[in-house]
Every structure is written in C-alpha cells, then in structure tokens.
A = this chain, B = another copy of it.
C-alpha cells in the first residue's frame, strides 16, 4: 500500500487533536508537551499506578519513554501499555539508552511483550533492542543508522510493528516497506529531548491515522525534518533553534509537508 500525500496525515492530526497519554522522562516532559501542542495534538502527562489504566483507556494514544525510569514508573508503564494493548489503543515505545544497563534491558523486554505499535530510537538503541552487540554509551547514538538498518527491519518483523530509527538520516520500516527521510539540521543534536518529543508526536500521528501506522510515522518524522530545516535556517545556536522549531511546527501546513519532505522508498536486499 503506497503512502498518502504526507500532508493528509498532518491534516488528520490537526482535525482530531488526539489526546496523547505521555509517560516520558523528566527531562523531556515540558519540551514534549510543547512540541505536541505546537503541532496540533493534546498531551497529558501522568504516571501514578493508581490511575494510569483509567487514563490510558480514555486516551487516543500512549507514548512510553524510559529515559528516567524508576521502579514505580516502570510498574505504571507496564499497566498503561497493557491497557493500551487490551483496548487496541496505539502505543509507542522509546527505549532510551536501552543498551546502557541491565535494568533497562529487562524493562524493555517486558514492554516489548505488550506489543507497541511503533518503536522509535536512535541506531544504538535499535541495535541493542534487537539483541545485537552495540557500544551504546548512554543516550547518544554512537552507531550510525546505516549499520542498524538491518536491525530495524528485523525488529519490525519480529514484533509486527513499525520501527522508526532517527539520526543523520531517518528510517521507517514495517519490516516490508522501508522509507528514508532526509532533512533536519546539524543543531538538532545540540538540543535535548527532541527525539523523546518525536516519539510522542509519532503516537499522536498514529492515533489520528489508524490503520496507517507506517505512513503516520513517516509523516511525524517528516514534520521534524521539514520544520527542523526551516528552524535551522533562522537559528544562531541551539537556544534560538528550539524556539524556531516550535514556531515552525506551528506554522507548518499540510501542503508544506507534502512538498518539502525528502522522502525515498528504499529497497533493501
């Protein structure tokens, strides 16, 4: 099935303003909420084990990011993901620094069993998640996306989900179809938690485009690529870049997204 024009996915997001239950790390919470609000979704952050099931059940999507996990957050994430799985609510896993500690590996193994619709990570994280050896040294990507494309495809096939791998080039695959997106700006790695925010934005796009998770994920990454390019052309450094990125996401039209994305379908042998 070919993708629709990318602007269509953004149009659906803007008209639905999906409520995204974000369980993300402390560093990313504010910027994630702002990235979603700027683009047109409605974020809500809460994590008490006492209430997550009730809240996930009324959300359009769930986004789980393990950046600053601790025991009671992990418990709540498992409850929320199980709720999403039960009610067929799309959910996204962002396995931050999964290669860095055994604690993260153990948690991700349990989360993967609850069937995320999309996994979004950098190359090191995708490699680690697929069980391949990786020299991940924390939250940075030290492996290149090129090296990890095979791992991304294998992971998508194994778990029946979409995998989005971001870096200098971005890759999206459902195990069968593969897309590469170019764009963004060299300042992006100098701003914290953009990837975390992108994971939540993927959740919002998928919520507004049910039955089209692959295209919705491509569209979310394309938003960052196009808005990032535009923000970079106006920024003097990472401070002004952040500001310009929120403005650019807000100003981005569906037509811009369709026209300005550098997207390529890739055949992997």
Interface residue ranges, A against B (CB under 8 Å): 19, 25-31, 33-34, 37-38, 42-51, 54-55, 58-59, 67-72, 97, 100-104, 137-140, 189-193, 235-240, 242-251
Contacts and interface: CB of A to CB of B under 8 A. Distances in A.
Nearest to A187: B250
A251 B239 CA distance: 11
Nearest first, the 8 A-B pairs at minimum CB distance are A239-B246, A237-B247, A33-B192, A237-B250, A239-B243, A51-B103, A51-B101, A44-B138
Contacts of A27: 29-30, 33, 45
Nearest to A48: B70
Contacts of A42: 138-140
Nearest to A102: B54
A247 B240 contact: yes
Given A46-B69, A48-B71, A59-B138, 4 more contacts: A33-B193, A43-B192, A51-B104, A240-B244
**Number of copies of this protein chain within its complex:** 3
A44 B243 contact: no
B238 A251 contact: no
Contacts of A30: 27-28, 30-31, 192-193
Contacts of A137: 19, 58
Contact of A237 (B103, B190, B248): B248
Contacts of A54: 100-103
A251 B68 CA distance: 30
A234 to B, nearest CB: 9
Nearest to A69: B48
Given A100-B58, A139-B44, A245 B239 contact: yes
Contacts of A71: 48, 50
Contacts of A69: 46, 48
A19 B46 CA distance: 27
23 contacts: A33-B192, A34-B239, A38-B239, A42-B140, A45-B67, A45-B68, A46-B68, A47-B68, A47-B70, A48-B70, A51-B101, A54-B103, A190-B250, A235-B247, A236-B247, A237-B247, A237-B248, A237-B251, A238-B247, A239-B242, A240-B243, A240-B244, A240-B247
Nearest to A72: B70
Given A30-B30, A70-B47, A138 B55 contact: yes
A53 to B, nearest CB: 9
A38 B190 contact: yes
Contacts of A101: 46, 50-51, 54-55
A191 B137 CA distance: 31
